[in-house]
Amino acid sequence: MANILVLAETSGDSVKSVTFEILGKLDGHTVDVAIVGDMGANAVADVAKYGAANVHNLKGDNLDKYSPEGYANALKEFIGDKYDLVFAGATSLAKDLVPRLSAMFDSGMASEVTNFVMDGDNFNGTRPLYAGKVLAKVELAGPKPGFVTVRPNALGLPDTPNAGAGAANDVAASAGEIRAAIKEIVKGASEKVDLTEANIIVSGGRAMKNAENFKILDELAEVLGATVGASRAAVDSGYAPHAMQVGQTGKTVAPSLYIACGISGAIQHLAGMRTSKVIVAINTDPDAPIFTKADYGIVGDLFQIVPILKEELKKIM
């Protein structure tokens, strides 16, 4: 049976949920979890709940803050020849780190897969290509270990996870020689979940008219526990920062629920959210392309509909 490692990533004191999605999909395999830095007792218990056999905390000088060189050097030394496959969520950090690791091992990598199966010890994955117009079946070639990144929210959490031992141990690791070290990380003002990890997203388009009008989307998002996004048109118009942009040149998301408010449904935007489980569209134009992808559509003025939707959801949430 393949030896498998999952690279975990934390957000505050919690492990990012894509780690649990990967562990759930690997049910039936013996899987270790590794994280660079501290993982609290509650976090260890959480990954054990979803099947982690061992949890390795890599600690050492210059590893308290992320640097691509330091993390890659430490993980390369730890992984060595112990593992056949290494998985990680397709987060901003992993998109920077995992290709570097793959190159260091001169091995194959499958990026941003949205589904996969293990055929014995062999990995068979599915990933979107050409802005989601086709789905490619991918396998891994080259020396072991092979590397895989999984799009957050694509797999979903298992209904009944099978717990693992979750034995935690500290590993002395070395960042090696690094050319740049991060001195300080300044958090953004928002405490909302990042778009790529959000389970519910409310997005606004050019029809929002100005930045101040995004307040009504913030209020709806507050009721739903959602994160607010924006189309490229809204960002280009100065209504929202680029960090909120959903689309081919923004962030690719796969939430359980995506509510598009005043978004026409340009191909660039659809490429970033078409894998959402349920799509709700609100638009005054009944012929807007977004309605061809929406599971539920409301033809009308978003400034009238969103407040009503917020009040009705308040009653049932």
List, edge to edge, every strand of the sheet that includes 200-204.
227-230, 200-204, 257-261, 278-283, 296-299
State how far the alpha carbon of 67 is from the alpha carbons of 105, 108, 183, 197, 243, in Å.
Answer: 18, 22, 10, 22, 21
* Both structure tokens of 141: 């070639």
Q: What's the domain count of the chain?
A: 2
Residue 162 lies in a domain: yes
Task: Region of 107 please: left (phi>0), alpha (psi -120 to 50) or beta.
Answer: beta
pLDDT interval class at 188 (50, 70, 90):
low
Q: Which of 137, 172, 207 is the last residue of a domain?
A: 172
What residues form DSSP beta bridges with 298?
A: 282
pLDDT interval class at 299 (50, 70, 90):
very high
**CATH number for 246:** 3.40.50.1220
pLDDT at position 189, please? 60
Q: Which of 172, 206, 223 is the last residue of a domain?
A: 172
Are 18 and 130 members of one domain? yes
| pLDDT tens-place string over residues 125-141 | 999 888 778 899 999 98
**For helices 41-49 and 17-25, angle between their N-to-C axes, nearest 10 degrees:** 30
Are 156 and 209 members of one domain? no
| pLDDT tens-place string over residues 83-126 | 999 999 999 899 999 999 999 999 999 999 999 999 888 999 99
Q: Provide the terminal-to-terminal Cα distance of the chain, rounded to the nearest Å.
A: 45
- The SS3 call for residue 22 is helix
Are 152 and 268 members of one domain? no
**For helices 302-316 and 215-224, angle between their N-to-C axes, nearest 10 degrees:** 20
**CATH number for 85:** 3.40.50.620
Separation of alpha carbons 42 and 298, rounded Å: 43
Separation of alpha carbons 166 and 53, rounded Å: 5
- The SS3 call for residue 99 is helix
Residue 44 lies in a domain: yes
Structural domain of 265:
195-316
pLDDT at position 191, please? 66
Distance, C-alpha 224 to centroid of its chain: 19
179 pLDDT above the threshold of 90 = no
In single-letter form, the type of residue at position 245 comes to Q
State how far the alpha carbon of 212 is from the alpha carbons of 208, 239, 257, 316, in Å.
Answer: 9, 8, 24, 27
